[in-house]
Structures are given as structure tokens and as C-alpha cells.
A and B are shown apart, each in its own frame.
Chain A
């Protein structure tokens, strides 16, 4: 399509290191407490182009989160490799931010303190970090809430704080593990629009895990369907809906969207049924 990505502002020296994510033959096995090996993901190969928004969709327990953990460098792959930019991931990948379903906010820090964590951890002087955090709180619409504690905020507001905290360091890569999974439908739509807006400004590469196919299609450039245990890539769909996407609630009614959504659902359906039968069988 020849999309001309807007130039990313420099981020802490790592700016020109293009954040292409290449996952090649990635396999991760765990040792269960009983001493058996359990293969969470097998031979996963996915490529995320710099500045691309890529969603991973799959049935419960198909190793989506495991894949993210390997990309972030929190865990080491059993086989295969993850390459970020020109570096093979070994240890914590620099320039990555994580967003979880449970908002990983520090309950003992104020909203400002939470957002400041990113810059503080990379050694930004406190005054600059504070100014930056205030600016980010304004951008996510939380100016005036700086001194609140997380438990004093609503679920949607906590998500905004988590989003500001994840984006403040201007990450090359944003890893999102069902970030909006626990939100109600209306709040979810608002947060999706908010995320798209911020992403279009910063253009990090995004790996976005979700169960919600609509969400995946509405937000992404690429949707990866995973099979269940052991997780592996079943299909990859490129979503060529024009950007900026605008309101995610309206895009859902467009014909192109419905067409794509239908095709992807065809692929996902079998997996979901299979995974369900297996867990139902195990439960019986």
C-alpha cells in the first residue's frame, strides 16, 4: 500500500533501530510439577513489520501470552528465536512496554508516580520525569488526577493510567496482553479509540493479544490465528482497512470489515470448537 509512516521521534538512543519483530520457529516447553514436559507453543513464526499493529487471536490456553513473554525477553525460548530489529532477543529487550489485562499499577504510588516509573527507571531526572508524566496524563485525559491512588479510580481510568505508563518511554514495541479484556463494552470501545489515536502518533510495533475478533480486526494491520495446545500459527490475515480507522464502533458496520471478519472467523471457529471440546472432555 506504500503507507508513509510518520517519522518517529527519537527514543533514548534506540530510535533508528527499526522495531521489526521476527519470530522464527519459536517453541517453548515447560516442566510441569509432575515432571512432564508441556509444550505451550510449537514452531511459531510471525513477522511484525516496523510500526505495524498485529493481533494474535486464538482459543484460551493456546500460548498467546507465552509468545509475548518470549518477545519481551522475560522468558527464554526452548527452541527458535525472536529477533527485534537486528538483535536476537537474549535477556530483557530494550524499548518494550507491556500492558496486562489486570492493570499492573502500583497501588502504593499515586497516578503521577505510576506514570513516572518508566522514565525514572531509565534514569531520567525527577523533574523531567514529572513534567513528562504530567504531559502524558493530560494526553490520556487524566489531568487533575495526579495525586489520586489507583484504588480511587474507575476501571477505565486505571486503564488510561496504564496506557500512559506504557507509552511514556516511547517504546519501539508495545506488547498488550488482553489489555481491555476486563472492561465493560462501552469503556472498551472508548479505550480502543484512545489506543488507536495514541498509536497513530507514536507508531510503535504492536503485538496485541485478544479473544475478541472484532477488536482484532478493527485495530490491526495483521491478524494471526493460533491453534490450541500446543499453540502454533494457523493463519495470517492482512487487514487492509484504510487508516486512520476512526471510530471502532462505526467501522464494525462497514462491508469490508464484515467480509474480513467473516473470513477470519471461519478459520478461528474450528479451533475454538476443538479447544472447547477438549476442555469440556477433560472436565467430564
Chain B
């Protein structure tokens, strides 16, 4: 008797679960579809509007380019190459510069950030200078690097690294400051040496902050490399941009922007992967789960 009642109620539960699940799934599917429709409409409106306005002559395509012509120059860049070799060669140079700059800047930023964050004396001595250097327009350093180190890859790496450094440094510094003092007290009582406190508590805890900064940092690395190339280079996307500017060719400038955007998005994706594998201990964030 009870067994029957139980199995009945279980079946009831299952049906109920199905009843709830199916509409929920449908609703979710509908929602996703409408999001994509909205995105497509927005893209068509912006790019189509641009094309239309320039076609009609309301906006001068000589200055502002035109989507179809940007496409043409993209095709041209990839098929015919540039005055400085193929697009791949130039892209490779820029990506390398940005990547090495990113690595160097991140490394120095993390090390200094953790060092200053965990040592009050050092942070009191060096802190003001870092703030002063942070407040100067660092992009101008590019000119100095090029004068000092020539037109090769090194000054670009350096400029990218300088831009990356500050982003990462401030986050690493703050991350160390935000460490849970209970955790530190706990491992100290258990007999941890200062080095063990750093490896077991400070660094893993600052990692959340550091990784958050890497997303912005890669963007800065690309900017650094490009600007340094515009200032003076023998190869690179920045050089193509600077040359296109000289020949009044906005379409090629836009084409280069598209190429760089793709690279940055790819890098962003890789950083997200890194984030997920390093921070898998984090509780799933509600806003993260629902956003986008």
C-alpha cells in the first residue's frame, strides 16, 4: 500500500519535474535566440548605416572609410601583402612584441607588487615614486626608447612592458594587502616561515587580483607595441598604419584595427582559459553565470 503510494508520488514528482523542465528549456532557448537577433540587428544597423551614409556622401568616405572598402583592403593586405613584406610577417612581429612586453611587464609587476605589498618599509620608500611615474604620460617614453634602442623589436617590447607593468603592479599590490589576516596568523602559528606564508597564503590569494588585471594588461601590451611601431619601426602593423596615414588611406587603418581586434579577442580567450584553470576553487559567481 505504502509502496504503491510512494511509487505514485515518485512518478508524480518525475512528471512534475518534466513539466517544469520543458518550459524552462524553451524559455531559455527563446531568450538566447532573441539575444542573437538583437546582436545581428545592431551589427547590421551600424555597419550598414556606415556603408549607406558614406555611399550617399553624407559622410566623406575619403576621411572615414567605408565598410566595403575596408573589406577590400583587408583582402588586399592578405593577398598582395604590404610594402614591408606579407601581412603575416608584420602581424607576427607585432604579436611577438606585444607578447614579450606582456610577459615582461606582468613578471616585473607581480614580483614588485608582491614585494611592496608585503613589506611596509619598501612600500613607504618606493610607493611615492611609483605614483609619480604612473602619473606621467608613459606613452611618450616610446620616443625615448626608440632614440635609445633603435628601430628593432626591443624598444616596442619595452614600451608594452611599461604599460602592462602599472596595471599588474597595482593589482598585485592591492591583492597582497587584501589577504585575510586570519589565514596569515593561522599558518604562522602552525610554524610557517615567511617564504611559506608567501607561497601558501599571499601569492595564491593575490592571484585573483592579478589575473583580473591580465585582461586589461594584454590590451595595453598591444597598444604599447602599436604606438612604438607608429613612432618608428621597420616592420609591424603599426608601421602599416603609419604608412596608410601618410597616404590618406583610412580603409587600411581600419583593416589593421580589425586584425588587431581579432588578435586581442583571441588573447582574451586564452587568458579566460587560464583564469578558469587557476581559479577553479572559486564559487561560481551569480552575476558571471547570468551575464552575456
| A interface list, Cβ under 8 A from B | 72-74, 92-94, 96-98, 100, 102, 104, 106-110, 117-118, 121-122, 149, 151-152, 169, 175
- Are the C-beta atoms of B190 and A122 separated by less than 8 Å? yes
Q: Given A100-B182, A151-B283, decide whether A106 and B200 contact each other with a Cβ distance below 8 A.
A: yes
Considering the complex, give the chain B residue whose CB is closest to the CB of A100: B182
Query: What 9 A-B pairs come out closest when comparing CB atoms?
Result: A151-B283, A104-B182, A104-B186, A108-B281, A149-B281, A98-B189, A108-B204, A121-B190, A121-B192
- Are the C-beta atoms of A106 and B201 separated by less than 8 Å? yes
Which residues between 150 and 199 of chain B lie within 8 Å of chain A, taking CB atoms?
A: 180, 182-183, 185-192, 196
Tally B residues with Cβ within 8 Å of A.
Answer: 21
Cα-based distance from A104 to B186 in the complex (angstroms): 7
Minimum C-beta distance from B87 to chain A (A): 42
Considering the complex, give the chain A residue whose CB is closest to the CB of B279: A108
- Are the C-beta atoms of A72 and B200 separated by less than 8 Å? no
Cα-based distance from A220 to B192 in the complex (angstroms): 30
Q: A109's contact among B207, B281, B282, by CB below 8 Å, is which?
A: B281
- Are the C-beta atoms of A104 and B196 separated by less than 8 Å? no
Question: Interface centre among B192, B196, B204, B281, by most A CB within 10 Å?
Answer: B281
- Are the C-beta atoms of A74 and B188 separated by less than 8 Å? yes
- Are the C-beta atoms of A169 and B281 separated by less than 8 Å? no
Cα-based distance from A71 to B162 in the complex (angstroms): 47
Q: Which residues of A contact B192 (CB under 8 A)?
A: 121
Q: Given A106-B201, A107-B282, decide whether A74 and B190 contact each other with a Cβ distance below 8 A.
A: no
Question: 1/0 per residue B189-231: CB within 8 Å of A?
Answer: 1111000100011001101000000000000000000000000
- Are the C-beta atoms of A92 and B281 separated by less than 8 Å? no
Cα-based distance from A110 to B207 in the complex (angstroms): 17
Cα-based distance from A107 to B178 in the complex (angstroms): 14
Q: Which residues of B contact A175 (CB under 8 A)?
A: 189
Minimum C-beta distance from B278 to chain A (A): 9
